[in-house]
Chain A
Amino acid sequence: MAENTISLVSFVLTLMVFSYLFGDAPLIGGLYRIAVYIFIGMTAAFTLVVSYEGVILPYLQDIQDQSTSWTALGYRADITIMFTALLFALLLLLKPINRLTWLTNSVYAVVIVVGAAVGAVGALNGTLFPLLQATVALPDDLTADFEVLVESLLIFVGTMTGLYYFHYQARARADGNEEQSRVGRGFRHIGKAFLVTTLGAIYASALLTSLTILTERIGFLFQFGA
């Protein structure tokens, strides 16, 4: 596609999306929805192409080559995996038949538990242990830099009280109401301060990113218009 055509199509589509700002004004009210439906159609098409070219086709080509194997179990295991996957895909098509829904759900169950196992092991090895180690680690020389020590302590307190904020514990009183301990309430308040600060920073970063994109798009519109 020629460079001018790309710019023209980009210009028109950007204007169509920005027509959202005018709401349901006559003539231009539907332009935003047209752009969104074009976007959904294209995304579906690109996803289909990537799934086929990136996953299905390489696997189909691989199982034709007997000298290679995906796992330590050998070439025959590859064939079994491929045919099991195809069988599972066929079972997914049974979803509309109410009496056989359990078969479709079984396929989902296998995929979900494999994902859950990967997620749980990944969270343990990739997030929990490294972050806990980094949180409790102290500087090498405690006397050398007092500022670093204070910062390390603050990070430790912030992380622990932030985690504590997600935890709720209360005593039952004689009148049937609940009562939180003062220490627990204090921890929760400190944790909340750290979490609100973090959410504020995340919000500001997201705002900065989207403002940068907005100025780039507006700049493009003016540049193309000129």
Chain B
Amino acid sequence: MTRPAPTSSATLSTGPSIHFKGSFTFSTGPLFEDVSLRLGGGEWNCLLGPSGVGKSTILRLILGLQTDGHFDGEITADDGAALTNRVSYMAQSDLLLPWLNVLENTCLGARLRGQTPDTERAHSLLHRVGLGAHLDKRPASLSGGMRQRAALARTLVEDRDIVLLDEPFSALDAGTRADMQELAAKALWGKTVLLVTHDPAEAARLAHQIILLSSGGATTWPTPASPPIRDIHAPDTISCQAALLDHLRAGTAITNQTPQEGAR
């Protein structure tokens, strides 16, 4: 059975398409050359590939963060506006501040910028992610899943058009991970999402577009016909996941990474 996609009432905004094209070079040599990819606007785009191939570097470049090498290329949005202050980020680690409670952590962006936090909105989003009863708790007293939900609420409060997720569910147990995938997919519906992941099941379930990155460049991988969020038991989800895993295993087996690349 295919799960229905969230209705348009859940849509907060529609993100733009993003075009990424360019090469990246470390002082020791190129990380990737002439990689071209397009992130579908308002869609979940899952980026997979072996470790050290440059997935996190692409994510950092879109975020506008410092990298250790030189990027020669361009990153543009199809609406013509600059990406600055339009991208939010959620990492594998929840990055919650231990000295702030859940509500204060959720309003971190405003606190950092010296703005008055919109606590009403933060309240509402924390209820939406199931943390309504834990607003005053410190991160140390929360489970891993609850901490990631707080991190998700913090991402949602920023209300950016583009959301970059760097393996945000990889440290969670299988059940919590599945719950978080559904929660994030619903909460971020309508935004342009780039999810860096190593999990073919996650990509098969959530992606509108699957992008495979290898030393040869970026290619798209066919997604199941049914729309996300897909039923994990659906045959097309299972077959997509299995084929993707086979492909990644074959790619890993033939990839000769240098120690430096492997460390990134």
Say whether A associates with B. Answer: no
Residues of B in contact with A (beta carbons under 8 Å apart): none
